[in-house]
């Protein structure tokens, strides 16, 4: 089989003002058969309350779609939704929310083979279009599952402009991580003698470059929102084409996973955790980290570990655990001696930036 026949692409990507109000028109113009089908809208209680009118308008546009509130972003919840979809003959799932909701909806659609329409309320990560879903499997333990990417992605620029600033910063942080992830992918390919998927590599690099070199610094501007939206979608598609998360996930993500698994009480978003990880990983890789630090400062991303309650002992321990948090994943950590003095100096560099 030709390896390029194995990946899927969304049928549509709409990034425009008031897109949610026109979502049925947008979908109908690409896939008229979907709009008349039995549809389930998945969100969470807080969002259903906050955007009550908007969600009910979307419901009315999609054949009076049923609205379902998730209790948790877990594998069990996704399985319950998938069972409901199959038993009650739903053909379309709409995910309306942030990463937790979208991953749950995406995986439920994957299991049930329903068409999946992604409607993000924030741009906090590249999970919008990725072929992966991160779900809770036991208490605070989370696992990454492979799944199908969205059939359609509809991004309402007005909704994103009004989203909490921290969520947009997390999306910028997730984009920042492509720089070190691609370097780690090259290390892995060299060590294992495997092939780098050139098109996936180029897409991920474009994702990083488009945000890193963006002249528009106002995160609420429509220009910036379009650029960040497309960058996050490009990252997701790069993973789909590569058949793995390698184009977007390296040692910086291992750092974030180590925080999630061993220090779950640290209050830090995934995107900001990988941004912190990217600064240190850049130094491990022998790359100049100055550009990443200046970029983070420009948008107000705080890269001081202390701001998140991470002291020097924890910082060193997180990086130590990052080596083993995903067995078999080869990164710069596989060939770097992390001595404590070096880690302390990196911590100080980040704290004083």
- The model's pLDDT over 117-132, given as tens digits with 9 standing for 90+, comes to 999 999 999 989 999 9
Residue 58 above 70 pLDDT?
A: yes
According to the model, what pLDDT value does residue 3 have? Answer: 47
pLDDT of amino acid 1:
33
- Average pLDDT in the 72-81 region? 96
Band of residue 4 on the pLDDT scale cut at 50, 70, 90 = very low
pTM of structure: 0.94
Q: What is the DSSP string of 304-323?
A: -GGGGT--HHHHHHHHHHHT
Which residues, 6 or more positions from 341, have their beta carbon under 8 angstroms from its beta carbon?
none
Q: For residues 253 and 213, give the distance between their C-alpha atoms in angstroms, rounded to a whole number.
A: 22
Query: CA nearest 121: which of 148, 157, 89?
Result: 157
């Amino acid at each position: 089989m030709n390896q390029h026949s194995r990946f899927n692409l969304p049928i549509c990507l709409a990034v425009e003002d008031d897109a949610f109000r026109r979502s049925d028109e947008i979908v109908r113009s690409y896939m008229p058969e979907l709009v008349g089908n039995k549809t389930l809208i998945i969100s969470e209680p807080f969002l259903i309350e906050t955007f009550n009118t908007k969600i009910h308008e979307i419901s009315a546009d999609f054949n009076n779609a049923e609205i379902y509130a998730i209790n948790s972003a877990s594998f069990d919840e996704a399985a319950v939704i998938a069972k409901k979809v199959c038993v009650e003959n739903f053909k379309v799932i709409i995910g309306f929310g942030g990463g937790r909701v979208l991953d749950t909806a995406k995986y439920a659609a994957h299991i049930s083979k329903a068409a999946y329409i992604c409607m993000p309320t924030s741009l906090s990560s590249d999970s919008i279009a990725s072929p992966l879903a991160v779900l809770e499997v036991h208490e605070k333990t989370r696992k990454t599952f492979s799944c199908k990417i969205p059939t359609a992605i509809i991004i309402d620029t007005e909704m994103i402009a009004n989203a909490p600033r921290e969520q947009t910063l997390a999306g910028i942080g997730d984009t920042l991580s492509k720089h070190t992830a691609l370097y780690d992918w090259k290390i892995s390919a060299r060590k294992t003698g495997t092939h780098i998927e050139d098109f996936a590599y180029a897409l991920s690099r474009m994702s990083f470059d488009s945000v890193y070199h963006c002249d528009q610094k106002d995160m609420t501007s429509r220009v910036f929102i379009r650029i960040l939206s497309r960058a996050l979608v490009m990252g997701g598609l790069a993973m789909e084409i590569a058949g793995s998360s390698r184009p977007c996930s390296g040692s910086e993500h291992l750092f974030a996973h180590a925080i999630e698994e061993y220090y779950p009480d640290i209050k830090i978003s995934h995107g900001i955790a990988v941004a912190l990880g990217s600064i240190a990983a850049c130094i491990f890789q022998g790359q100049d980290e100055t550009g990443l630090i200046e970029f983070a400062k420009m948008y107000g991303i705080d890269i001081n570990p202390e701001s998140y309650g991470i002291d020097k002992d924890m910082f060193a321990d997180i990086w130590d655990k990052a080596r083993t948090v995903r067995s078999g994943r080869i990164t710069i950590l596989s060939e770097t001696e992390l001595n404590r003095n070096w880690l302390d100096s990196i911590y100080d560099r980040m704290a004083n930036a």
